[in-house]
Amino acid sequence: MDDTAPDIADLTLDELRLALAPAIADAAVFDGWSDEALTMAAEQMGADLDVARLAFKGGAIDMVFAWIEAVDMAMAAAFPEEVMAAMKIRERIRALVQFRLDAVAGQEEALRRALAIMAMPQNVVRSTKRGWQTADVMWRLAGDTATDYNHYTKRAILASIYGATLAVFADDTSEDKAETRAFLDRRIEGVMQFEKVKAKWLNPDRESFSVTRFLGRLRYPAR
């Protein structure tokens, strides 16, 4: 145990949420994202149950979001700038997604239940925002500095890839999650090809067909 870590009774509600989230996820494998899972986690961590309940007053969806945020923070700690600098962009994105998958390995049942909760009509808007935030964390760690529309398209695409990969991962029974790894590789390759095509078409210096120039030549043909 880390003697420098603050006592759990001294944590703020936000800090307590993050501290309890991994233990709740472990319990959710058997008890779902429920008060029973929260109670088990609080007892395991030595937290006051009433305070723990206050920290998750939004119920199951708050527990799920805290779990996601805890993984976000662990991922950021695992990939400092100097680690990312040695990788190509494709490798960075793949490594980040793979880290997240490895982080929830063994918790597939909790993941399935979490995805079902996030897909509930009352949770869809918040879940979409939460997925966007995670994609934003990944792109920032990967070194993305785009501020134009690329900022939004990159995050939307990555959120889609990650969500689809999670769904495959949750039900993947292949050895060492080989099917998930192959699926992720295909999706990332597709995005890389799309980015190459997009860059080509958006390059202002490329030779291309111009409607304006064509119409101008019809009106004023070259002599």
Q: What pLDDT is stored for residue 175 in this prediction?
A: 95
Class of domain 59-223: mainly alpha
Q: Kindly state the average pLDDT of the residues 75-91.
A: 94
Evaluate if residue 23 carries a pLDDT over 80. yes
Q: Kindly state the average pLDDT of the residues 86-109.
A: 95
Q: Where are the domains of the chain?
A: 1-57, 59-223
Q: What pLDDT is stored for residue 197 in this prediction?
A: 59
Q: What pLDDT is stored for residue 1 in this prediction?
A: 45
Evaluate if residue 208 carries a pLDDT over 80. no
| Residue 124 burial by Cβ neighbours in a 10 Å radius (0-12, 13-18, 19+) | exposed
Q: How many CB atoms are located within 10 Å of the residue 156 CB?
A: 14
Both tokens of 97, joined, read 């997604």
The whole model's pTM is what? 0.84
Average pLDDT in the chain:
88
Distance separating alpha carbons of residues 53 and 110, to the nearest angstrom:
19
The string of pLDDT tens digits covering residues 51-70 is 999 999 999 999 999 999 99
The string of pLDDT tens digits covering residues 99-156 is 999 999 999 999 999 999 999 999 999 999 999 999 999 999 999 988 888 888 889 9
Q: What pLDDT is stored for residue 125 in this prediction?
A: 96
Q: Kindly state the average pLDDT of the residues 20-25.
A: 98
Q: What pLDDT is stored for residue 166 in this prediction?
A: 96
On the CB side of 172, CA atoms within 13 Å amount to 24
Both tokens of 105, joined, read 């390995």
The string of pLDDT tens digits covering residues 151-205 is 888 899 999 999 999 999 999 999 999 999 999 999 988 777 766 656 666 555 5
